[in-house]
Amino acid sequence: MPIKILKSEVASQIAAGEVIERPASVVKELIENAIDAGSSRIVIHCLNAGQGLIEVRDNGRGIPIDQLELAVTRHATSKLETAEELFQIRTLGFRGEALASIASVSRLTIVSKEDAAEIGGKLQVEGGLSGSAEPSGAPTGTLVRVEDLFFNVPARRKFLKTDLTERRHIDETVTNYALAFPEIQFNLSQEHKQALQTSGSGDRREITAAIFGTEIARQMLELLAQEEDIGINGLISPVSLTRSNRRAIQFFVNGRPVQDYTLTTALLQGYHTLLMAGRFPIAQIFLTLPAEQVDVNVHPTKAEVRFRQPDEVFAAVQRATRRALLAYTPVPELRTQYRWHYDGLDRQTPSWGSWDQLSSTQGKTDSEQPDIGEEEVLPSGSTEQERGEFPGTRSPLLRLVGQVAAAYLIAEGPDGLYLIDQHAAHERVLFERFMSQKQDKIPSQRLLEPETVAFSPASSRLLEAQLQDINRLGFEVENFGRHTFIVRAIPVLLAGMEPAGALRVLVEDFEEDESPLQNEIEAKIIARVCKRAAVKAGQVLSAEEQQALLYDLEKTTSPRTCPHGRPTMIHLSVNMLERQFGRSGPR
Ligand code: ADP
Ligand code: MG
């Protein structure tokens, strides 16, 4: 094929693909325009998870009627003139691409009026083909209506996730800008239901409360620091308040929500040794730097930035985090000794591999207990699969020796020493009990007083979607509207546990699973609940409790792993001990 210049429709669809990936990208761009226009109130309305309709209305400065057609033209912007200005950007937009991109993949209508103008204007564009601007009555400000997104790019539609997920992305997008601009009033509704409303009072904690609930907002710690020309402020969670993933960590640079791996690392290093493995804080951190210190033009969606002095920014974030944590929460000295350890970014089970190797030459069985011949407690392989459960393998009969570090049980078995993680073991025990009860009906216990729990819009959407499953598992939870749920009963197995906490676990650990199988969902929910209900590391157990746990573990069908696949026990075989002490082996 000879080389040809692409037709302009093709070129603009290619370009649009970079900027508009999903409905939430449209929401993001339109909100940015509204903010750049100096609006104090922004109302967003979506239907069909944004694929039917996205409407953003603002009360900003508006667009003159004779510039409407320019506004939807590619590389047309009022925010930038010279290349030098690229390093002085103070607006959220500057590429002059968003409206043109959106217009090329949807049916777009803009209605806008400047304050001083007598009458407003209206322009319609369909799949990039622009009509001409006509006079139209309108209040001051701009209304952008985007209908049938991707109607002319069906392939793109196929890449969208479930409506639930797309709605959550929209929730999260609006939430981010609401946090970044607390003095602007935001109102988001999806499918005619209000999802987020902020007052525009300028109080960030109030917005945090709207997102995470008042209880969490109250606990968040203030971050405030100024180092040279790097300003840092925001809210971070105390070490007692964590999540199982990084999704609640959000950075903003000069008001722009950004994704930045190194900033997250800096934050986590600030928490160094204070967080349990696999737990992450909630954080909203706002950095202010002189515009020339930040390159915002590195990514078509402007979701990434580059710092001129990244090391200084990194250090400042880390120090500010550390200082805030130390100021508000004394380091739990006692516990530091055992369980609190820093979660490196790629968590692996340290030294597991070496245990593996050492014990791979599994020894003979103890002659005193000949009936449990083919015991092999430590899986000898090193791949994830091999390390997992061995169907049918039972736990060896174990003799309790004691507890160490309030986290592990020591036991003697047929072939050496067994170290048992009490939390993982208890998780396994609870999990199997739950699963066996599931055959009939999981008994539930009514609360003396029903408890209401408030959630963020995004979490409540998740919970709503899971409600049926949850209620089948011994919970009795009801949607109370406005992101609030009433807990009336919890499974008997969890009796004594705080119901709000139990419910929260159900959503906060929910990853972006698209459509797992029904029984997978149930198993997942149960595993999550068990994790929460199991005894923790750091909890001292009486001799009877230790014995009972060991006994219960022996009875499970898969005693060697917790429901999440981590090992419950480590085996130090007699053979290995002998080699380690130089009593046998090659040396
Ligand atoms: P950019 O924001 O990068 O300049 P856009 O394609 O998003 O590019 O918008 C093009 C231009 O249209 C903007 O520069 C601005 O002048 C005008 N505009 C877009 N949306 C609005 C709005 N909500 N209020 C006022 N002006 C707007
Ligand atoms: Mg823009």
**pLDDT of 122 above 50:** yes
Is the pLDDT higher at 226 or at 347?
226
pTM of the model: 0.66
- The partner residues of 248 in beta bridges, in order of sequence, read none
Q: Residue 265 has which token pair?
A: 């690392």
Is the pLDDT higher at 40 or at 209?
40
Mean pLDDT value across residues 43-68: 97
pLDDT grade for 473, boundaries at 50, 70 and 90:
confident
Probe residue for ligand 1, chosen from 65, 77, 86, 90 as the CB with the greatest number of ligand atoms within 8 Å: 77
So what's the pLDDT on residue 84?
86
**pLDDT of 384 above 50:** no
| pLDDT tens by residue, 279-289 | 899 999 999 99
**pLDDT of 385 above 80:** no
So what's the pLDDT on residue 352?
28
Cα of 284 from ligand 2 centre, angstroms = 24
**pLDDT of 343 above 70:** no
**pLDDT of 252 above 50:** yes
Cα of 290 from ligand 2 centre, angstroms = 21
CA distance 168 to 162: 10
Cα of 54 from ligand 1 centre, angstroms = 17
**pLDDT of 339 above 80:** no
Regarding the beta carbon of 74 and ligand 1, being less than 6 Å apart is answered no
| pLDDT tens by residue, 517-533 | 455 667 777 777 787 77
Residue 571 near residue 416, CB atoms below 8 Å: yes
Distance of CA 240 to the CA centre of its chain: 17
Q: What are phi and psi of 281, to 5 degrees?
A: -75, 170
Regarding the beta carbon of 407 and ligand 1, being less than 6 Å apart is answered no
CA distance 490 to 448: 11
- The partner residues of 186 in beta bridges, in order of sequence, read 42
Is the pLDDT higher at 136 or at 562?
136
Residue nearest to atom 16 of ligand 1 (CA): 78
Mean pLDDT value across residues 449-478: 83
pLDDT grade for 3, boundaries at 50, 70 and 90:
very high
Q: Which ligand gives the minimal distance to the CA of 63? A: 1
**pLDDT of 454 above 70:** yes
So what's the pLDDT on residue 585?
58
CA distance 577 to 415: 10
Regarding the beta carbon of 212 and ligand 1, being less than 6 Å apart is answered no
Is the pLDDT higher at 330 or at 188?
188
121 closest CA partner among 99, 145, 137: 137
Probe residue for ligand 1, chosen from 27, 36, 74 as the CB with the greatest number of ligand atoms within 8 Å: 36
CA distance 502 to 497: 7
- The partner residues of 228 in beta bridges, in order of sequence, read none
Q: Which ligand gives the minimal distance to the CA of 138? A: 1
Mean pLDDT value across residues 480-509: 79
